[in-house]
Structures are given as structure tokens and as C-alpha cells.
Structure 1
Amino acid sequence: MDYTQVLILVISFIVFLSLRVPIAYSIGLAALFTLVVSLPLLPALTTLAQRMATSLDSFALLAIPFFILAGQIMNRGGIATRLIDFAKAIVGPLPGGLAFVNIMACMLFGAISGSAVAAASAIGGFMNPMMEKEGYDKSFSAAVNITSATTGLIIPPSNILIIYSLASGGVSIAALFLAGYVPGILIGLALMMVAAIYAYIKKYPTEKSVGIKIFFKRFIAALPSLLLLVIVIGGIVAGIFTATEASAIAVIYTFALAFAYKEITLNDVPSILLETVKTNAIVMLLIATSVAMSWVMSYESIPQEISTGLLAISDNPVVILIIINLILLFVGVFMDMTPAVLIFTPIFLPIVTDIGIDPIHFGVIMIMNLCIGLCTPPVGSVLFVGCGVANLSIQKVVRPLLPLFLIMIAVLIIITYVPELSLWLPRIFGF
């Protein structure tokens, strides 16, 4: 490996980021600068353009715009309010009840929409004023909302798991979806535990218990939304349709649901489609440039050298996984999730498979690491959205965020070294 190319790749990427160049352009330009060292300018430009174009020629990637559209519809379609009411009926009477409601609603909405940003925005918009009115500290409410919103990226259906499947060379999407359930729920429960302790110390109020009649009424109201999870995941696991077909079904279902709830009209459709196109364009450009950078790194034999270097340090799976987790946590602080998965999966996956780690298990580990990065500055998109919705500065949210952040790392360690937590559901269904 020529270390000149590695230095050019790393330094140029850091320089572009420090100049506030959007991350997709930073990745693409860094890849181009590196390739120009080995090839003349015109072949380098042509090669990079070809790699970017062919990276998007994938049937599996077609699921992403559909799931983004479904998420946009849910964000406006009255689904969030019904899930919040249902969550209040279940966990509202517990100590720190409204914090529990926030966490549970984010888990449900994030899982249904597949978007942490949508969950932070939709649930935070409802829950933050409600919690403040009941005497909860505003910064604590925002911290709970920010961390719990990331659970929707682990609990399926999840766009980022589809991207990992693409980057890994074809790990089963259905198996990844099943593998995400237990880790995602464990994070939610861990966040609830911290919230309960915080609420007990601060003596926050609890919600009144609801009767069976009201509970049943709220459950029925939320049931159509919850059924989307059953339809999408059940259909994929049963082999009735692929993940891409499931995403199209999700759009049809959520449109029907939003119109049935009378929360959107035909006049809202153009703005929903426009927002979907904007989001999808950003995601697809990130995917294209990230795949191009990944190819450049492979062309320069960087993954093989990193693999050799790590295995030279130790061939102990415990040590290797510690090192990889630390690297991914660091990467998550500075890089958005999509390019991080596309760039680092080809680097680390061969290493972990060599030491006997299941690719499905590693996918969950990687996504959990990067989910934590979404809650940290300077690139933490969920952190910025959560603070924006709460109308707070990041500095005010950091202190209550720390214990929630640490418990997420604790769950990550457990998931890393107890693979059965991720693998038992896929094995039950024969994956």
C-alpha cells in the first residue's frame, strides 16, 4: 500500500469537512484527489463517475425512497399522536411516566417510519411541551427524545440495515431485520431505567392510570399503525414479498391510513412528495460518493492492510471487537451513518468473519455504534433536530444526555459480546 494515497484521502477529507463542504461532496472530492495520484485526471473522473452511477443500480436500494415516503406520510398523518396516547396508557402511571411515554413512542414511531430524525421531530414536537407542562426539566425531555429516537434505526424496518446488506455483499435483509428487535428493545428498556432513576431523584409526577375501556380504545386507535410492522416484517420473513416490495406496500398502507384519519388531503401530497425527493436525493448522493470512496480504498488495498494490521495486534475476538467498536464510535462522531456503513463495512467485515463473527451480528454492532454517533456533535443529526424541536442549545442538553449516552454504550458492550441476543430470532426463522 502507498501511504501517500492514504494520507491524501484522510487529509483531504478532513480539510473539506473543516471548510464546511457538505459531507457527500467531501467524500467524492477526497476519493477523486486520491485516485488522481494513481491515474490521469480524465480516467480518474470517468472511473469515479462510473462507480457512482453503477452503485445506485440496485433493486434493494429502491426500498429506501419508498420507506422515506412512508416516513414522511406518517410524520403528517396523525400516527404520532395515536402512538403517544397508546404509550401513555401503558407506561404513563410508572415513575417518570411521561419520559417512558417519550421513549416508547419514539421506539414505536421510529420503528414504523424507519427514521430517527422523523421520530425525534414528530414525537419531540408533541412530548416536549407536554413534559415541560408537567414539571419535567426541558433539557432532560430533549435528551430522552434524542437518544430514544435512534432505536427506530435498529428496530425494523430500517433503511440503514438495507444499506448494510448492500455494503456487505448480500447479507439477508430479513435476517438483519429480525436481528434488530432484541437489541433495539434492550436500548429502549435501558433508557427507561435511567429515566426512572432520574425521575425518582427529581420527584417528577406520574400519569393517572386509565381504565380498561380507555386503554382498549387507545389500543384500537393505534392498532392500524402497529399493524404496519406486522405486515412489512411478517411479509418479508414469510417470503411473501421482498424488502423493496414491502416498502411499496408500506407507502400504500400509510397513505390509506393517513387519509382514513383525515390528517392529510390531496393538497398535501405534492409537498410530501417534494420533501421525499429532497431527502432521497441527499441519501442517494451519499450512497454514490461513499461507494466510490470505498472502491478507491479497495483499489489502493487499504482494507487488506488494515485487516493485516489489526490481526497483527491480536487474533483474540474480544480485543478485535473492542478496537473496532472504538473506531466506529469515533467515526460516528464525525461522519453520517450512511457513508460510514458503506465505507467501513468492506474494511471491517472481512476481519470479523475471519475471527468467526457472524455478519448479521456484526451488522447490529455497527448500526448500534453509529446510532450513538447520531446523538453526539458535530455531525449528530438527531442531536441537532432534537435540540431544534426543544428550542435548546446543545450545551444545555449535554449534561442530562450523558447518563443516557453511557447506558447506550453499556448495552452496546452487552450486544457485542452476547451474540445470541442478535442471532436467536433469525435462527428461529431459519436464517
Structure 2
Amino acid sequence: MAILTLFGLFIVLLIFGFPVALAMGLTCIVVALQLDIPLSMLAQRMVTGINSFPLLAIPFFILAGEIMNIGGISKRLVRFSDVLVGRFRGGLANVNITTSMLFGGISGSALADASSIGSILIPMMKRKGYDTDFSVAVTVSGATQGIIIPPSHNMIIYALVAGAGVSISSLFLAGIIPGVLLGIALMVTSFIIAVKRKYPAEKPSSFKEVLVAAKEAVPGLFTGVIIIGGIISGIFTVTESAAIGVAYAFIISFFVNRDVPFSRIVNVLSGTFKTMAIVVFLIAVSSGYAWLLAFLKVPAMISSGMLGLSDNPIVIKLIIVAILLFLGMILDVAPIILITTPILLPIAQSVGMNPIHYGIVMMICMAIGLVTPPVGGALFVGSAIAKVPVEKVIKALLPFYVCMIVVLLLVTFVPQIVMFVPNLLD
């Protein structure tokens, strides 16, 4: 009965529109009372879940992304991408995806990417004769690179939940090739559509224009170099690297680019604090929920049930991917990571998946979830910017869904794609 309550009450509360964190917290309280577990013990488990020094990296990464979002870095990356890939057929679509690859590698947020890049490039693409639904589809699918290409605060959450042996730096390194592979696949898909629809190409840029664009973009791009380079070299911890990234982004945005007044920092800090409050509360209640799952031996039951269906590693991996894709359609990224990792990670390991490999597979599944209804955050951001119905965008996204699924399957069944860089540099 406690297991039924743990899942059933949570689902019912979600159906009635409760926020995920509140639904999870209320469910934990009811189940604890049902099992005669002192609420003080449950509270201790929740506090333990957020009592982590690496967790401090998350607000710093969020703050760095917010500062760069308003600091003019995105428009400079658009210009830099334009001189690199704009000359090809459907050039602005390539520019869109390339900019997302660069900006995602700085901000680590798909939603920040979709809102910042989308507000610039969707109107620009429409003026150049691109269909609105295609412009939005390219923008939101390209924005998903932000969750895969380091730094990614969702990777930090996964590392904390997965426990000892899962290094945040290794996860960051593991996301590089899959993220770039996804970007290339999206560019190929958009190029094929552009040729079919006869979208225009931009005029080639001169060498001088390339140098000017690079000069303007390099200071922003160097943010990612500082963060990732500091972690890989061992000079900084993840948290220290994120804090230094914030300081650098602050200097570039307010003293080098100077596109916005210093007073905007108040709004940036306010937005970051609100976002972090939500994240911390969610991690706390998820820690309590995960503890109750373990207490009731739910992971072991699900594991034996799945392995009872088949002992074929390929089938088990496909089932895991299918579960993650389904959950990505109905829940946000952080709750999925926090709830499913204690359950699915041991199963993945039992069929030979390294925890780092599984983490990247999960990130790609979550990336696909960001552009699928009914909850896809990036999908609704892009739709709102372009003022186009979501249904129309979904139709335009169909070839991009196929592209992303192909990349997901490649990464799932060819672990060398994920593990090459970590193995090379560890």
C-alpha cells in the first residue's frame, strides 16, 4: 500500500495541477505517516540531499548564463556564426544551430539559449523568407544542445544523485562529442530541408569581416574555456570554476560589451535567486522521495521486473531509453533525474552501461523532452517568441525528432562516442 501511495498520490497531485516539488513533498509526508516514520527523519534526509558543496556550482552557472543572456554575448555569437556557416544554403538555419552550440557551451541552459538566440534569429529568419514554423523548429531543436554541451547544471544534479564514482568533470568531458554530433546532425537536417524549400544562402564574408566577428565573439566564448579548462586542469573545483565564470561574465557584459546598464544586475540576481530556490526545494524533496523508494526496495523490484522481461542488454537499454523519453514528455528535467536515477542507474549498470555513459544518454533523452509536448519548455518558449501555434511547430519538428532519435541511439549503443574524451584526458 505504501508503494501504491508513493506513486499513485504523486501522479494524482500532478493531474490536479500541483507543482512537481509540492506534489513530491506532500507524497513523502503521507507515506512517512503511513509507515510510522518520524517526520524529523524525513526532514533530515531532505537536508542531507542539499548539504553538498558541489551544489553551489548550480546557482553560479545559472547566474553566469543570466548575465551573458543580457550582456550582448548572444548577438556577437550570431555574427560570428554567420561569417562561419552563413554562406551555405539555408545559411541562417546553420547560423542558428551553430550559435546555440556556442552559447549552450557557455550558459548550460537550453531555455536561456532558446529565448536569447530565438529572440534574435527567429525574426531575422522570417525577414529573409524562411517559414515561421521552420525557424522555430530549428531554434528550439538547436537549443537542446545546452543541456548536453558542458557546462550543464543538470549534469551536476545527476552526479550528486548518482553518488561516488561519478565525476562532474568526467560528465562535462563526456558531453562534448555527443553535443557536437547532435549539432552537426541538426545542421545536416536543416540543410536538406533548406535545399528542398529553396531557402537563401547569405553572401560570403570577407577575411576582414571574419576577423572582426571573431574579435567580438572571443571574449564571450572564453567564458566556457575558463570554466571547462579550470575543471579539466584541476586548477579549480567545479564550484570555484563556476564562481570565476560569473566574475568573468560580469566583467565582459558590463565593462567590455557595455550593451546594458549596470542597474540590470538587480533583475538578474533576483531571477537567479528565484530559480535557485525552486531547484534547492526540488532537490530536497526529491532526496526524501528517493530515500523512501530505497526504504521500500522499489529499485530492486523494478530492476528484477525489467530483467525478468529479457536478459538481452539491447532490449533493456531500449526499455530504459523509452522510459526516459516518455517521462521527458510529461516532467521537467530535474525531477526526472532525481527520481529515476536511483531506480534506472543500477539496471543500466547491470547491462554494462558506465554511469557516465548512462548520464549522457539521460541528458539526450531530456533534451528531446524539452521539445516535445505537453511539457517541453524550449518548445513553448520558441512558440511564444514567434507567436505561432505549438501544433504547427510540432509538425515542422518531425524531421528534427528523427535526427535526434538517431543520435540518441548512436550514443546509447556506441559508448565510445561518450567515453572517448574522458578516457583520453582522465
Q: TM-score, normalised by structure 1?
A: 0.96
Counterpart of 2:169 in structure 1 is: 174
Q: Structure 2 matches for 1:4-403, cutoff 5 A?
A: 4-39=1-36, 43=38, 45-170=39-164, 171-259=166-254, 260-403=256-399
- Rounded to whole Å, the distance in 2 between the matches of 1:289 and 1:388 is 31
Give the deviation of 1:32 after TM superposition. Answer: 2.3
1:39 is paired with a residue whose SS is coil
Give the deviation of 1:6 after TM superposition. Answer: 2.4
Give the deviation of 1:48 after TM superposition. Answer: 2.7
Q: AA paired with 1:18? A: I
1:88 is paired with a residue whose SS is helix
Please identify runs of 4+ aligned residues in structure 1 that moved more than 3 A: none
Among 364, 386, 411, the residue aligned to 1:415: 411
Give the deviation of 1:203 after TM superposition. Answer: 0.5
Give the deviation of 1:395 after TM superposition. Answer: 1.2
- Rounded to whole Å, the distance in 2 between the matches of 1:268 and 1:199 is 39
1:206 is paired with a residue whose SS is coil
1:136 is paired with a residue whose SS is coil
Give the deviation of 1:314 after TM superposition. Answer: 2.2
Give the deviation of 1:361 after TM superposition. Answer: 0.6
- Rounded to whole Å, the distance in 1 between the matches of 2:227 and 2:122 is 30
- Rounded to whole Å, the distance in 1 between the matches of 2:329 and 2:32 is 26
Deviations 1:107-160 (A, max 9, x none): 111110011110000000000000000010111111111111110110001101
1:270 is paired with a residue whose SS is helix
Give the deviation of 1:34 after TM superposition. Answer: 2.5
Q: CA RMSD in A?
A: 1.1
- Rounded to whole Å, the distance in 1 between the matches of 2:398 and 2:6 is 33
Q: AA paired with 1:201? A: K
Q: AA paired with 1:257? A: I
Give the deviation of 1:320 after TM superposition. Answer: 0.9
- Rounded to whole Å, the distance in 1 between the matches of 2:389 and 2:276 is 28
- Rounded to whole Å, the distance in 2 between the matches of 1:93 and 1:5 is 61
Deviations 1:266-313 (A, max 9, x none): 311211110111111111122112121111111111001111111222
Q: AA paired with 2:408? A: L
- Rounded to whole Å, the distance in 2 between the matches of 1:388 and 1:47 is 44
Q: AA paired with 2:242? A: S
Gaps of 5+ in 1: none
- Rounded to whole Å, the distance in 2 between the matches of 1:85 and 1:305 is 53
Give the deviation of 1:8 after TM superposition. Answer: 1.5
- Rounded to whole Å, the distance in 2 between the matches of 1:99 and 1:290 is 39
Deviations 1:54-113 (A, max 9, x none): 211100100000001001101100000000000000110111110111111111111100
Q: AA paired with 1:79? A: I
- Rounded to whole Å, the distance in 2 between the matches of 1:31 and 1:316 is 35
- Rounded to whole Å, the distance in 2 between the matches of 1:317 and 1:60 is 33
- Rounded to whole Å, the distance in 2 between the matches of 1:397 and 1:13 is 31
Give the deviation of 1:36 after TM superposition. Answer: 2.4
Aligned residues: 424
